[in-house]
Every structure is written in structure tokens, then in C-alpha cells.
Structure 1
Amino acid sequence: MTQGVVAQRLEGRTALVTGSTSNIGRAIAQALAAEGAHVVVSGRDQERGEAVVAGIRADGGKADFVRADLDGTPEASQALAAAAADTLGGRIDVLVNNAGIYRSAPTLADTDAESLDRLYAVNVKAPYFLTQAVAPRMVADGGGAIVNLGSWVARLAAPSGGAYASTKAAMESLTRSWAAELGSQGVRVNAVSPGVVRPPDLDPAVSFSENMTVGTPAGAPGHPDAIGAAVVYLASDDAKFVHGTVLDVDGGRTGVAVVAS
């Protein structure tokens, strides 16, 4: 290696990131591309997706947009897997199951059947069927890495948002199950559990869940780049001995006692 040149950790690899047209997903796509991966940016909004791709290319990275509406049906997930593989030259080395929705039906009494079904369709069934479609490709190609997105609310309960939290608990549980099932076949499966992450496009004057970070070691919401960096680690060979782990990137919210002052 030429002196002074730093090797990119994902050089020559391909990646599919769902829900990557904004916020955390966008940061993940940007981080993977910055480490050399050819990234498929995916989401429902073509204009935003193409803007993310343009930004990655402007920085010297490789990216393409594939539109997808992951509604929880096997067909939608299978179609994305096939289109992404075609775009990436036939293989997907890294899959990031980031796409998800949050329904602000806060309490048990306020959650109707339609909202609950939609949450589970997008947050659990869609990544389940997408992983079902992509994992055999990875095995056939000699291995790969899958990174799921959990949430701090999956393990630290709040008095609202229980339906959403349960979908993230499901993804963290599936992470361990898939690691057990796929690890011996060369596919590593892990998850990142974000804490309160402030959307970078939000008006700085607007408060964003700061109350949930009071008393934590970080003391403030995080930036999406922190999640992107964690995903890069789990996707890379730096984490080759890491299987079935949920990596908390939450400013210490779940790991450190928060004492009210």
C-alpha cells in the first residue's frame, strides 16, 4: 500500500440500504459509500433518493437509486432484492434493514387495528421477507453482512409508543435468531440500536426530544452520522467476530442509570 493512503474498509463491496432517502438511512448510505461500497439507496421518494445519490457521487462514491415501497408483502421485498442485485452487478454483500415507520398512536387504548397492522407490515414483515430474499444470495456468493435497526425503546420502556417499540424488539430478537441460523453459512447478522437522534434537516430552533436525553452521559440527542459509523463497523471485517449483537448507539441512555436531579 502506498504510504499515507488509507484503505477503505468496504472497497469492492455492494450494499442495499432500505429507507435511505433521509435522516438515519441517508447517513448510513453515505457512510458505506465513503468506505468504498457501491450503495443502492432505496425508498419511496424518488426525488429525495436521487438527491442522496447525487451527493454520494459528488463526494466520489458509487450509488444508485432503486425505488421501493416496502409494504410488508413478500412480493415487494422480493422485487427490491432482485432490482438491487441487478443494479449492483448480481450480488449484495451488505443489507441494512433500516426502513421503518413510527405511528404516534401513543397508548394501548389509542392503537387501532389498522395502525398496528401497518407498523408490523413495514417494520417487521418487510425486512423479514427482504432478508429471506437476500440471505440465500449472500450464502451462494460466499458470505455477507446484515445489519438491522433496532431502538432503545425496545428494551427501555416508555409509557407510550408500545406498539412501535414492540416492532423494534422483534427486529432485535430476529437479529439473534438470524445470526444463529446464518452464521455458519458465512453471513453475519447484527443490529444497531439508536437512541434519540435529531434529524439534521430540522430547524435548530425546534426542540426535539431533548427531555429524553436529560441526565444521560451524552446529555443531548445524537447525530445520524453516529449510526452510520456503527453500521460501517458491523458491515466491515473489523467486526468479523461479531455475531448476533445489538450495538447500542444511544448516548448511554440504556446502559447508564439516569438519576433525576
Structure 2
Amino acid sequence: MAGRLQDKKALVTGATSNIGRAIAEAFAAEGAHVVVSGRSADRGAEVVEGIRSRGGRADFVQADLDGGAAASHALAEQAASVLGGRIDILVNNAGIYPADGTAATDEKTFDEVYAVNVKAPFFLTAAIAPAMVEAGGGTIINLGSWIARLGIPVGALYSSTKGAVETLTRAWAAEFGLRGVRVNAISPGVVHTPVPGETHAGAVMMKGTPAGDVGSPEAVAHAAVYLAADESEFVHGIVLDVDGGRTTAAVIAA
């Protein structure tokens, strides 16, 4: 049986760990040929080897998305070349998260976080979306964050970048939607790969939610498959919350 993404060509940034890795693995399991992109060649090779060992198709393209347009354009060109000339699905996942408070954040850090989290996906989308239009269509999925809409006392800089990404999602849906490119976003809650015997520091933030605990990268990957697949063809410009109900519902614990 063909997968939901059979023969699609996908580029996933920040795909060497956590959510990005889970998305790359899920796409490959559904039949896509995936370019795994990230800074670490060793971790990239590990992800690719795992996908191939399960019968999937994947290649690694090393990239340091520092916010420069040149770096984003170079990744777009290299990924398209590896994928046979086209990219059907782009996942803008790569990002950095300094948890410093506002007063402790210096200008260098401010510029770096906006460069990686906003400028890099902006210029990568600018490089890839027109090619998708020319090819007849495509799908772009951005990664936002629940703290873009629910304030917490740390990470103001990071949360503001994710607010920008969610705004770009709506703007790009309007800009490219009529030309065949669907653009949506996923807003993950507190997510991590479980480690036996360890309690994640962010688990306290999930108290009082319907889920009651942190989520897995695979939960976000399932949402990404849905947004990339044909069954979401009428879905444009949304931010899909995959956050255990953190931003929508409060549970009164007994």
C-alpha cells in the first residue's frame, strides 16, 4: 500500500534531533524522499541510516542556517539537486532557544535568535515557494510555539520569534495559496524524547492541562504528516496546536 506522502520530495530543517528528526522519519515512513538538514554531519548520518534501514529514502545536506540569505538559498539549491530537481514539502523547523530573561539578553544574542528563527526560514521560503508554484504546487509547514500566545516568565526573545513565524504563516498562506502552495504551522507544547528514569524540567508547565504531561516528538510528526498530505488540501494558514491543551483548556486537579 502506498503511503500518504508516496513519492513526495521533502526538506526538513533542524532534522537531526527531537521534533525535526521525528518529522523526517514520519515523512519517510509515509513514502517521501526526505532531505535531512542540520549542522551535525554525524547526527545527520545517524538519522539517514535509521530511515534507510527501515526501507525509507533519505539523504543528509549539511547547513548552518545563520539567517543569511546566501545560506538559505544554498540549502534550497542543494536539497533540490539531491531530490531530483524539486521540493514538494518544506518544513521550517530549525531554531534556537535561549531561556534568558529580557534584561540578561544582549544584542548579539537578540540578533542571532532572530537570524536563525525568523530570517533563515523567511529566505528559505523565498527560495523554495516560487519553485513550488512553477512546479504546480507544494506544502510549507512552519514550527511555532505555544509560548507565542501564552506568556511565561522566561524566553521572551524566543517567544517573539515564534510569534513572527506564526504571522508569516498567515501572510504566506495568502501570498502563495492561490498559486497552489499551502502554508500552515504547528505549535508544539512541551515536547521531548522520554529518558527512562528522568523527569523533564518542563513537565511542571503541563500540570493543569488535559494531557497532564509532556508530549513526544512523534505527536508533532503525526500533525506534520496530516498537514503535508492530501487530506488537508482545504487547510490554509492555520496554526495547529499540538500542546496537550496548554493554550486552550485548564483542568482543575483534585
Pair 1:56-2:55 in alignment: no
**Corresponding position of 2:62:** 67
**Corresponding position of 2:184:** 190
Return the TM-score normalized by structure 1.
0.95
Q: Distance in 2 between matches of 1:70 and 1:259?
A: 42
**Corresponding position of 1:20:** 15
Aligned residue identity for 1:59? R
Aligned to 2:197, the other structure's residue is in SS state: coil
Pair 1:104-2:92 in alignment: no
Aligned residue identity for 1:256? A
Deviation at 1:49, TM superposition (A): 0.2
Q: Distance in 1 between matches of 2:147 and 2:207?
A: 16
Aligned to 2:120, the other structure's residue is in SS state: helix
Pair 1:88-2:76 in alignment: no
Contact 2:210 2:250 in 1 (8 A): no
Name the CA shift for 1:258/1:118 in 2 (closer, same or farther; >3 Å).
farther
Deviation at 1:210, TM superposition (A): 1.0
Q: Distance in 2 between matches of 1:71 and 1:241?
A: 33
Pair 1:178-2:153 in alignment: no
Q: Deviations over 1:107-129 (max 9, x none)?
A: 22111101110100000000000
Q: Deviations over 1:157-189 (max 9, x none)?
A: 111111100000000000000000000000000
Aligned residue identity for 1:22? S
**Corresponding position of 1:128:** 122
Q: Kindly, what percent of the aligned residue pairs are identical? A: 63
Counterpart pick for 1:211 among 196, 204, 208: 204
Counterpart pick for 2:148 among 141, 154, 170: 154
**Corresponding position of 1:235:** 228
Contact 1:198 1:208 in 2 (8 A): no
Pair 1:33-2:33 in alignment: no
Mind listing any 5+ residue stretches in structure 2 that lack a counterpart?
none
Q: Distance in 1 between matches of 2:96 and 2:214?
A: 19
Aligned residue identity for 1:11? Q
Shifted more, 85-94 versus 207-216: the winner is 207-216
Q: Deviations over 1:51-79 (max 9, x none)?
A: 00000001110000000000000000000
Aligned to 2:201, the other structure's residue is in SS state: coil
**Corresponding position of 1:118:** 112
Return the TM-score normalized by structure 2.
0.97
Name the CA shift for 1:253/1:239 in 2 (closer, same or farther; >3 Å).
same
Aligned residue identity for 2:238? T
Q: Deviations over 1:212-252 (max 9, x none)?
A: 00010000000000010100000110100000000000000
Q: Deviations over 1:75-124 (max 9, x none)?
A: 0000000000000000000000000000121x221111011101000000
Aligned residue identity for 1:237? D
Aligned residue identity for 1:218? A
